Amino acid sequence: MPTKSVVVGSAVGLHARPAAIISEAAGELDSEVLIGVPGGDPVDASSALMIMTLGAGKGATVEVSGDDETDVDAIAALVVQDLDA
C-alpha cells in the first residue's frame, strides 16, 4: 500500500475548511485514501469529520496511504498546501 509522509501546511491545521477541501477531493477519487498521524489509526480521507478528529495542527506530520499511488499523491499534495488562505 503506497504511503507518503507529509507535513500539514494549513495555518489552522486539518480543521474545518482544509478538512472539507481534502474530503471532497478524496470522495471524487476511484480508490480509498486514508490519513493518519504516525502511531495512530488512519481515517477515511473522504470524511471531513474523521480528518478533524486527528487533531493534526500546522507542521504536524501525517501519513497518507491508499491502494492507488496517484490518488495518495493527490491528497498528500492538498495536505501540504495552506488551504485556509
Contact indicator for 57, 64 with CB cutoff of 8 Å: no
Catalytic residue selected from 14, 15, 33, 75: 15
DSSP assigned state of 37: -
Contact indicator for 11, 85 with CB cutoff of 8 Å: yes
Q: Specify whether 15 is catalytic.
A: yes
Contact indicator for 58, 11 with CB cutoff of 8 Å: yes
78 SS3 class: helix
Residues annotated catalytic, as ranges = 15
